[in-house]
Structure 1
Amino acid sequence: AYGYDATSGQLSSVTAPDGSNLVYTYDGFLLTNTTWSGAVTGMVSNSYNDDFQLVGLSVGADNIAYSYDNDGLLTVAGALTLTRDVQNGLLTGTTLGSVTTNTSYNTFGEQATETAAFDSTAQYAASYTRDALGRITTRQETIEDVTVTYGYTYGHGGRLIEVKTDSTLTATFGYDTNGNRTEGTYDAQDRLLTWGTANYHYTANGELESKTDTGLTTDYRYDVLGNLLEVELPGGMVIDYLIDGQDRRIGKRIDGTLVQGFLYRDQLNPIAELDDSGAIITRFVYGSKDNVPDYMLKDSNTYRIISDHLGSPRLIINIADGNIVQRMDYDVWGNVVNDSNPGFQPFGFAGGIYDQHTQLTRFGARDYNAETGRWTSKDPIRFDGGDSNLYGYVLSDPLNWIDPYGLFKRTGGGITPIRPPSIGTPYKIPRRNEYSIADILPHPVNWDDFYSEGLDAGNGCTVVCSGGVGSAADAGNGNGFIQCLASPQPARSPATARSCRIVCGE
């Protein structure tokens, strides 16, 4: 049920089928408070500056402050300081207490290296080499003084087909004509029927209904919008999820007892984790990446979350002493192969909400099964998601792409401005706010190649160029370099403009 303000017509409340309620308050068009009631309770408040930038985000009495530079780029998020290249605005490092990170880029603005250290003692390092299409071909990681080098090969359609570990072939992947991995069998709708010794069955809507492996069955149940509501494991454990009026997972119960709750800062990202009594046990602060927090506050301690280029947490570091309280390692599809402290924080592969009991990862509208590299249900926006296979994950390239909305792929490690939160559902395609050209199209050999690609930047998007030279109207501000308002193919104008970025309005 939906309620609206009698004067402004703005959405004022949403009541979910289970009775949980959301209430919204505004200052003009700006959302100032979101209040949850029901099985999960809490309030998140937002404050803004005169430029409508978010400058404060509060959970209860605890506030996180944000600051920006003269270009509107985030420089402070709570206790986290962000450093940027003065020439292009790219993030070059962060500081949180004694934990520092440093990031470098290649000439196309793609991430080349990232390091993390406590008091100058290295704890994490990663470097990437890429092919002419911008895809990662080599990734070298050093964690706790152990270095491992991974090599990757791609096949037709850009799908990942081979992984090497320290020059030894460790995994190969084959695909049918619609991108299904050949380890399984499928029906005409791309629904997985068998995988190894497991058999799968689906609802009439195409949602995974059951999995039976060597006589042990796992059952799944969904609501009418396709949200996963319940999982019954072979041992009899029943896990059910609480979904709020914005289709966000706000709670988890085991055998009928609430064990976990979430409050959100926006449509996708939890800002607080609650315990079984509804008390806040962890607060999350986002800064350098838009799909995973940079740090968390828990048990009177502050922990830096070191994540990889996709946003997968790798190390959780206590900033007081540098101790690593959790380490997580994954295979290329996101299977957790090492977790030194399960459940210490809720994030997993590519920044999704990971459930250690079901081993599924929640991304926005859907749940991802890393074992099979597939979604458990069809894409809610169907073929608008950009894949003819409605169960396929990021066109079978999980090393270079992520899908935080559960709808469509985008490059990993995206850095977006902290902006005013809005009310929406994961079934609406969100507009991009601002990305670098390298984020949208990470592999132009030169600018002419960029135009010949026929890039579709999306409705309402413009490439803004500083220092451009062209028509009189463009000479002053460089705007209007590419217009995407009506045509799916952007037009190049003016021809001699330089130093551009893609900006898309909300």
Structure 2
Amino acid sequence: MLTSISYTGAAIGNLSYGWDDNKNKASESITGTMSGYDDEDRLINWERDDTNLDESWGLSLFGDWDTFAENTSTQSRVHGDAHEIISAASQSVTHDVKGNMTLIPAVLRPGSDPLALSWDLDNRLVSADVDNDSTDDVFYQWDALGRRVARDDGTTISVYVQNGQQTVADYTSATAATNPTYNHVCASDIAEPVVRDGTGGLRYYVRGQQYSITALTDSSGTIKERYAYDAYGTPTITDASGTARTTTSEGIRYLYTGREYDDVLDLYHYRARMYDSTAGRFCSRDPISFDGSRWNLFEYCGCSPVLRVDPRGERWQTWVLTCGNCAAVLGPGALTCMGANETFDDSWEECMTYYVGNLPWIHRQAAKVACAGCVIRIIGPPVYRWVLRNASSPCNNTWEQIAVRSERVIRFSQLIR
């Protein structure tokens, strides 16, 4: 398990992590947080060491927040048959017939007015009224592939140029193609922005274990801003010295788990869906239905947000475990050691599991051959929990199911999707 991330040169911040016996993250040093879990490995307690923010959850069997406590305040919630929120602290939450949130009350938007949302036929957010005056203030546009390509807040129209599922350039409307507001460089992972160029100069992203951005620096390594989050991703922005800011001074929108934050709506854009970190859930049902969570179409990361990520807004993931033989199939550099001489045995058969992206088809048969003789097991949500022996199964997706018997633990450092 990852235990630390250190930076060379001028001090930006060193992160260290503690893990419990079930591989749940128990502590994180840079924000001084501690976490507690129930018997299902779901987060039920989270606190900062400075006592400024303590959170706890009373979870239903299906992952709904029946109660949510923050410091000395406790909020009760009521959920419907489809696990949509009906009310929070007695304030109504409404949805359309397809399960999209249409009204987020003020109790879920501390310090702000209720938020009214409008959706298209494909369950994509198209407009929002942020000041409760029955007039939409922010508008989104989407392309035929379901990618957000424009945002209009009434003052500025921003156009986003996509390369696959990553934004590579921002433009302000009516500007020349040779004059982008920002250019973005991303690493191979879908949720890993690295550097931004454009207005204000070069800016480099510093991230933690979950790809959440913890700091932004300029080309000389000088810290421009710092970022911290509560358990479900609500951001706190400070300057380099730690003085709080109400909003970013750097125009940054990549924050929690590397996803784009709209600070007017207080919502994250998770590609397939919008995510509300205050509510701790997605604003719409999962577009892949129960292939994501098999019991709750609104649930975020199986109620384990400090461990898992969901960059596509469809199903959560963390890392892959695989036998050492797969290194020969996938090639050097594709795999890195996850824990020196760490081994797994039958006691892990019921451990919590993690979903990952697929390998290219050309690797599938080779991976099956390389893993022959190993016990192959899915690393994914419980809906994917199957155990296959000797790469033999009526299922045709053996190649994406990984487990270990007395083998060194290897993790994918890069997932080929």
TM class, shorter-length: 0.7 to 0.9
Are positions 1:176 and 2:83 aligned together?
no
Amino acid of the structure 2 residue aligned with 1:131: D
Are positions 1:368 and 2:259 aligned together?
no
Aligned residue for 2:214, secondary structure, equals: strand
Whole-angstrom distance in 2 between the partners of 1:487 and 1:437:
27
Whole-angstrom distance in 2 between the partners of 1:115 and 1:498:
25
1:189 corresponding residue in structure 2: 82
Note if contact 1:283-1:296 (Cα within 8 Å) is conserved in structure 2: yes
TM-aligned CA distance change 1:488 to 1:140, over 3 Å: same
TM-aligned CA distance change 1:342 to 1:261, over 3 Å: farther
2:131 corresponding residue in structure 1: 234
Matches within 5 A, 1:55-134: 110-117=1-8, 120-134=9-23
How far apart are residue 295 of structure 1 and its match?
A: 1.2
393-402 vs 460-469, which deviates more? 460-469
**Bigger CA radius of gyration:** 1
1:448 corresponding residue in structure 2: 345
RMSD (Å), alpha carbons = 4.0
Extract unaligned runs of 5+ from structure 2. 68-76, 239-244, 322-332, 375-388
1:221 corresponding residue in structure 2: 118
Note if contact 2:290-2:297 (Cα within 8 Å) is conserved in structure 1: yes
Aligned residue for 2:139, secondary structure, equals: strand
Whole-angstrom distance in 2 between the partners of 1:300 and 1:212:
36
Q: What is the number of residues matched between the two proteins?
A: 357
How far apart are residue 311 of structure 1 and its match?
A: 1.5
Q: Deviations over 1:110-141 (max 9, x none)?
A: 32111234xx2211110001112221101101
Note if contact 2:102-2:117 (Cα within 8 Å) is conserved in structure 1: yes
Matches within 5 A, 1:44-443: 110-117=1-8, 120-141=9-30, 148-166=31-49, 168=51, 170-183=54-67, 184-196=77-89, 198-213=91-106, 217-234=114-131, 236=133, 238-255=137-154, 258-267=156-165, 269-278=166-175, 279-287=179-187, 289-299=189-199, 301-320=201-220, 322-339=221-238, 340=245, 341-342=248-249, 344-411=251-318
Whole-angstrom distance in 1 between the partners of 2:57 and 2:313:
23
Extract unaligned runs of 5+ from structure 1. 1-109, 142-147, 415-433, 472-479
Structure with the bigger percentage of strand: 1
Whole-angstrom distance in 2 between the partners of 1:493 and 1:359:
39
Amino acid of the structure 2 residue aligned with 1:400: L
Note if contact 1:464-1:500 (Cα within 8 Å) is conserved in structure 2: no
2:382 corresponding residue in structure 1: none
How far apart are residue 404 of structure 1 and its match?
A: 0.6
Whole-angstrom distance in 2 between the partners of 1:161 and 1:366:
24
Whole-angstrom distance in 2 between the partners of 1:191 and 1:368:
14
Note if contact 2:115-2:265 (Cα within 8 Å) is conserved in structure 1: no
194-203 vs 372-381, which deviates more? 194-203
Note if contact 2:182-2:198 (Cα within 8 Å) is conserved in structure 1: yes
Note if contact 1:467-1:497 (Cα within 8 Å) is conserved in structure 2: no
TM-score by length of 2: 0.74
Aligned residue for 1:157, secondary structure, equals: coil
How far apart are residue 224 of structure 1 and its match?
A: 1.0
TM-score by length of 1: 0.61
Whole-angstrom distance in 2 between the partners of 1:137 and 1:492:
25
Note if contact 2:368-2:391 (Cα within 8 Å) is conserved in structure 1: no
Q: Deviations over 1:280-322 (max 9, x none)?
A: 11111122743021111123722211112112212110123x3
